Amino acid sequence: MQALTLKDVRFRYPGMSEWALDIPSLEIQQGEFVTVLGPNGAGKTTLSLLANGLVPKSIKGEFEGSVEVFEHPAPKYTVSQLSTLVGMVFQEPESQLFCMSAEEEVAFGPENLAVPRDEISRRVEWALDLVGLKGLNDRSPFTLSGGQKQRLAIAAALSMKPSMLVLDEPAYALDPMGRIELYSILSDLKAKHGMTVIVMERDAEDLVEYSDRFVLMANGRVTASGPPREMLVDPGALRAAGVSPPQMAEVASLINLRRKAPPLRFLTVDEAFAEITINTHHHSKGASH
Amino acid sequence: MTGFLDLYSEKDTFLHRLDPRVKLLAVALISVLAFILTELLYLVVLLCFILLLLVLARSSYGKAFFALKFVVRFMILITLLWPLFDRSGAPVLFSIGPLDITEPAVWRGATSAVRVGCFATLWYILMFTTSQRDLVRALVKLGLRFDYGLALAISFRFIPTFGLTIESIKDAQRARALELDKGSILRRSRNYVSILVPTIVYALRTADTLALTLQSRAYGAFSNRTYLREIRMRASDYVAMTVVVLILLLPALAKYIYGVQI
Ligand SMILES: Nc1ncnc2c1ncn2[C@@H]1O[C@H](COP(=O)(O)OP(=O)(O)OP(=O)(O)O)[C@@H](O)[C@H]1O
Ligand SMILES: [Mg+2]
């Protein structure tokens, strides 16, 4: 099944001359982990708002085309109804947590959906556990770290039992450890619960291992799409598109510039290690002969 | 603890466990009692009773004194100033120039001061033993619309956030060599505009995201929304409620039916 299908979609904010989104076709499969990469103003936020109906339902503008969420035409449903299919996590951790305790934050969605109390209670424990915040039920969100806040926001979306999570620059306020923690939680959700995950980022760091596909965006258009390794054959192309490639990919291309031997191909520290030991091994063998 | 303006302190005492609705009722009824009582002696007895509650709530004295410092100052001020403005009655104790200080006025001043002390200590105990979230729950349970309850909860929640924001904006502006507290009053108030504008922009942006978040969490989807936690009256709450009602009822009966001077 397709989780998200866009056809001939165009959206323009009121009073703007450029289309914020202009996507002839975009299909995301159920259970896929897709990373949408694009520089400032590429249209990532607009695309994520489109996925759960806030664009064009709440944020009005000129809209054309068709959006289907799990094969349901999005315009037929309210944002509340879509929220049980699409969980949204916004960029700012601080302003999307508004309750006085972590537990209330996670319970808020199911409460609004009139879910019975026992079931809410189960979902709260389940969601807090999944994001690694077990036992912090009574903590005020204000007192959590940036990474914990972002994970709480994920739990608050998960408790509504969506089949797809859309995260707008979730790593924005996180340190490198926090990013890895966050992405591995998302990747677990995909592996264990069949969750469709769409992550919007400006920076491809750490995402190679987790993503099934990179989608590149610029000026509201999708400019390229494919498996991360194919997209990173030439990290320079990513940089030209305004997106930071993973640091290891850049290291590889810098080494290759000075090497006459066949180019090294690695995207992570582990791969780099493997690749370099193989090469030096060859070298020392050759010398001993 | 959610932040700066939050007096709540998590403890396991009888007063902390009491249903917040009973506590609100108690604050209301005991305040009425403080109004009814006119004899200084009885008011002092009431204040002692309230201070006893404060002890039962296991408030640290430092914290209580800090919060009540202003009240104590206010009480002293009332006691001293009251006779200057209320010059009815006799006998005159002494005169300051043209001002006659009369004995009944001195008593009335002291009475009002003790009364204010009662109100303030009651509120302090309420805030010290009740988390903001229980307070909001109680108000919603008592019939406040959920929307307003949510708005109230959100404002409680964001007070510390905006506090921190203002501090970091101040630091940022200081780093750009803005001297906040230098110059004339006009100059200083103009300096504060450079704090105010970014703060308002930040608040508006937060409100924007908040509105989108609320919709994404199905806010208002059903009118019969459920609640994970509901406050429920237990036997001890009913006992406490009865005691509180009697505390008001007995003196009120004595005064208005039997005409006892209290
Ligand atoms: N509320 C708005 N009103 C008018 N134009 C807007 C609004 N929000 C976004 N735009 C415009 O739409 C385009 C796409 O913006 P969008 O916020 O979706 O990009 P983005 O990829 O999320 O950028 P960033 O990385 O900065 O978050 C930009 O040209 C932007 O200026
Ligand atoms: Mg954005």
The rounded Å distance from CA A13 to ligand 1 centre is: 9
Within 13 Å, how many C-alpha atoms sit on residue B205's CB side? 13
Say what the pLDDT of residue A261 is: 77
**Mean pLDDT in chain B?**
87
Where does the pLDDT of residue A235 fall: very low under 50, low under 70, confident under 90, or very high at 90 and above? confident
Please check whether residues B108 and B60 belong to one and the same domain.
yes
Count of domains for chain B: 2
Evaluate whether residue B28 is within a structural domain: yes
Evaluate whether residue B57 is within a structural domain: yes
Please check whether residues B21 and B124 belong to one and the same domain.
yes
Please check whether residues B33 and B159 belong to one and the same domain.
no
Rounded to two decimals, what is the model's pTM? 0.84
Q: Which residues line ligand 1 (CB under 6 A)?
A: A 13, 16, 20, 38, 40-46, 202
The rounded Å distance from CA A196 to ligand 2 centre is: 20
Average pLDDT for B95-105 = 82
DSSP state of A244: B
What are the pLDDT digits (tens) for B23-62?
Answer: 999 999 999 999 999 889 999 999 999 989 988 888 777 7
Residue from the list A54, A109, A117 with its beta carbon closest to the beta carbon of B218: A109
Evaluate whether residue B202 is within a structural domain: yes
Within 13 Å, how many C-alpha atoms sit on residue B126's CB side? 22
Please check whether residues B115 and B30 belong to one and the same domain.
yes
Ligand closest to A218 (CA) is 1
Q: Encoding tokens for residue B8?
A: 């709540």
Lowest mean per-residue pLDDT among B5-19, B85-99, B241-255:
B85-99
Q: A-chain residues within 8 Å CB-CB of B224?
A: 114
Q: How far is A277 from chain B (nearest CA, A)?
A: 48
Average pLDDT for A54-60 = 91
Of A159, A161, A136, the closest CA to residue A147 belongs to: A136
A213's CB contacts (< 8 A; 6+ apart) are A32, A33, A34, A35, A225, A226, A227, A228
Average pLDDT for A70-89 = 94
Domain A1-85+162-228 has CATH 3.40.50.11540: no
Please check whether residues B101 and B149 belong to one and the same domain.
no
Please check whether residues B113 and B188 belong to one and the same domain.
no
B232 at the A interface (CB within 8 A)? no
What are the pLDDT digits (tens) for A122-156?
Answer: 999 999 999 999 999 999 898 899 899 999 999 99
What are the pLDDT digits (tens) for B157-182?
Answer: 888 888 888 899 888 888 888 787 77
Q: B-chain residues within 8 Å CB-CB of A99?
A: 133, 153, 157
Of B220, B230, B135, the closest CA to residue A121 belongs to: B230
Please check whether residues B42 and B115 belong to one and the same domain.
yes
Say what the pLDDT of residue B227 is: 92
For the CA atoms of chain A, what is the radius of gyration? 21
B158 at the A interface (CB within 8 A)? yes
Residue-range definition of the domain harbouring residue B198: 144-216
Q: Using N-to-C axis directions, what is the helix angle for B146-175 and B185-216, rounded to 10°?
A: 130
Say what the pLDDT of residue A283 is: 58
Please check whether residues B150 and B52 belong to one and the same domain.
no
What are the pLDDT digits (tens) for A153-167?
Answer: 999 999 999 999 999
* Contact (CB, 8 A) for A44 and A168: yes
Please check whether residues B105 and B195 belong to one and the same domain.
no
From-to residues of CATH 3.40.50.300 in chain A: 1-85+162-228
Q: Whose CA is nearest to atom 26 of ligand 1?
A: A40
What are the pLDDT digits (tens) for A186-221?
Answer: 999 999 999 999 999 998 988 998 999 999 999 999
Please check whether residues B125 and B46 belong to one and the same domain.
yes
Counting Cβ atoms within 10 Å, is residue A256 exposed (0-12), middle (13-18) or buried (19+)?
middle
- State the complex-level ipTM: 0.88
Q: A-chain residues within 8 Å CB-CB of B161?
A: 94, 142
Evaluate whether residue B51 is within a structural domain: yes
Angstrom distance (rounded) from CA B19 to CA B16: 8
Q: How far is B203 from chain A (nearest CA, A)?
A: 9
Q: How far is A114 from chain B (nearest CA, A)?
A: 4
Evaluate whether residue B21 is within a structural domain: yes
B219 at the A interface (CB within 8 A)? yes
Please check whether residues B243 and B190 belong to one and the same domain.
no
Evaluate whether residue B2 is within a structural domain: no
Q: Whose CA is nearest to atom 5 of ligand 1?
A: A13
Evaluate whether residue B139 is within a structural domain: no
Q: In terms of DSSP bridges, do strands A86-89 and A213-218 run parallel, antiparallel, or are they unpaired?
A: unpaired
Average pLDDT for B98-109 = 85
Q: Which of A257-266, B4-13, B18-27, B224-233 has the highest mean pLDDT?
A: B18-27
Please check whether residues B111 and B205 belong to one and the same domain.
no
B95 at the A interface (CB within 8 A)? no
Evaluate whether residue B5 is within a structural domain: no
Q: Whose CA is nearest to atom 4 of ligand 1?
A: A13
State the best of A58, A92, A98, A123 to mutate against chain B, taking most chain B CBs within 10 Å: A98
